Amino acid sequence: MSSNLATKLREGTKKSHTMAENVGFIKCFLKGTVEKTSYRKLVANFYFVYSAMEEEMERHRNHPILSNVYYPQLNRKVSLEQDLSYYFGANWREEVGPSEAGQVYVDRIRQVSNEDPELLLAHCYTRYLGDLSGGQVLKKIAQQAMGLSDVAGTAFYDFQDIPDEKAFKNEYRQAMDNLPIDEATADRIVDEANDAFGLNMAMFQELEGSLIKAIGQLLFNSLTRRRTRGSTEEQPVTAS
């Protein structure tokens, strides 16, 4: 039985993907305007989101479905810890916490893990495929905008355990397409992926206040005025 899940996810989340790229914070990011205060808040949120996602995938590593797409080489928690140490200092654990939208996101991951573990696939797909697809572009933008060196502050974008990202993405999609799930389960995973985009968008929208304070309302308006079509393959590029 072939689920064609990756194909269904790509097709079924196109609208959400475009909406995510048109959130003001993301539009500014893609145009090279990245402000350190809001960016480091995003990194902190990502730390809690990825920690939850990776803990729950680890918990279900022997699950009859999730075990087929359990790839710990995707994990971002350790790289996010490196970035948080850079932005907040050695005592970063005492400095950071999830925002309101970040906590909602974390709570949803924990909920689906307990109630319907297959839906974790939606969250993994939405985040990791976006990270792999747009990560290097976003890394360069962040480095240039914030004057960062080659390594410091952008470890999140480096998948050191995945030497060939294109080949890995193909393998990952193939594994998802071959999952032994029925049509109804695939549809629920697509619905959850659209919800995951919404959770990401809520985090991005929270950051717009800090960004506007830093760059000014007029510049923010000029950067975000025109609607742009989704340019990355399937995820909110700056969900990463």
Whether 223 and 28 have beta carbons less than 8 Å apart is answered as: yes
Whether 208 and 101 have beta carbons less than 8 Å apart is answered as: no
List of residues 6+ apart from 201 with CB closer than 8 A? 19, 20, 23, 236
Whole-prediction pTM:
0.92
Q: How far apart are CA 135 and CA 157, in angstroms?
A: 5
Q: How far apart are CA 152 and CA 83, in angstroms?
A: 7
What structural domains and CATH numbers belong to the chain? 5-226 (1.20.910.10)
Measured in residues, the chain has a length of 240
Say yes or no to pLDDT of 234 above 60. no
pLDDT tens digit string along 95-145? 999 999 999 999 999 999 999 999 999 999 999 999 999 888 999 999 999
Q: How far apart are CA 191 and CA 201, in angstroms?
A: 16
